Amino acid sequence: MNIEDFEDIIYKKEENGICTITFNRPERRNALSFVTFLEIQAVLDDMEKDKNARVLIMTGSPEGRAFSSGGYFNMKMVTEIPKDIMKDIDLKDIAQKKICMKFWNFKKPVIAAINGLALGAGFTMPLACADLIYMADDPETYLGLIFVKRAIIPEFGLSFLLPFYVGFQKAKELLYFGDKIHAKEAERLGLINKALPPEELLPFVRKQAERLIPPKGPSLSLKLMKKTMHDYFREIISSTLDKENEALQAAFKTHDMRESTKALMQKREPIFKGK
Residue 129, pLDDT above cutoff 80: yes
More confident residue, 127 or 89: 127
Q: What is the pLDDT of residues 40-88, one digit of tens each?
A: 999 999 999 999 999 999 999 998 889 999 988 766 666 677 777 788 8
> For position 121, what pLDDT does the model report?
96
Residue 4, pLDDT above cutoff 80: no
Q: What is the pLDDT of residues 136-180, one digit of tens each?
A: 999 999 999 999 999 999 999 999 999 999 999 999 999 999 999
CB 75 within 8 A of CB 96: no
Residue 267, pLDDT above cutoff 80: yes
Round to whole Å and give the CA distance between 218 and 114.
26
Round to whole Å and give the CA distance between 130 and 62.
20
More confident residue, 91 or 61: 61
Strand partners, 10: 22
Nearest to 130 by CA among 31, 205, 74, 49: 205
> For position 77, what pLDDT does the model report?
66
> For position 154, what pLDDT does the model report?
96
The string of DSSP letters for the chain reads: --GGG-SSEEEEE-TTSEEEEEE--GGGTT-B-HHHHHHHHHHHHHHHH-TT--EEEEEE-GGGTEEE--B---HHHHHTS-HHHHTT--TT-TT-HHHHHHHHH--S-EEEEE-SEEETHHHHHHHHH-SEEEEE-STT-EEE-GGGGGT----TTHHHHHHHHH-HHHHHHHHHH--EEEHHHHHHHTSSSEEE-HHHHHHHHHHHHHTTSTTTS-HHHHHHHHHHHHHTTHHHHHHHHHHHHHHHHHHTTSHHHHHHHHHHHHTS-------
The string of DSSP letters for 30-55 reads: T-B-HHHHHHHHHHHHHHHH-TT--E
> For position 76, what pLDDT does the model report?
62
Round to whole Å and give the CA distance between 194 and 174.
20
More confident residue, 265 or 99: 99
Q: What is the pLDDT of residues 198-224, one digit of tens each?
A: 999 999 999 999 999 999 999 999 999
Residues in the chain: 275
The fold of the 3-266 domain, in CATH, is 2-enoyl-CoA Hydratase; Chain A, domain 1 (3.90.226)
Task: Report, as an integer, the average pLDDT of 251-259.
Answer: 94
Tally of CB atoms within 10 A around 242: 13
pTM of the model: 0.94
Average pLDDT of the residues of the chain: 94
Round to whole Å and give the CA distance between 154 and 189.
18
Round to whole Å and give the CA distance between 119 and 31.
9
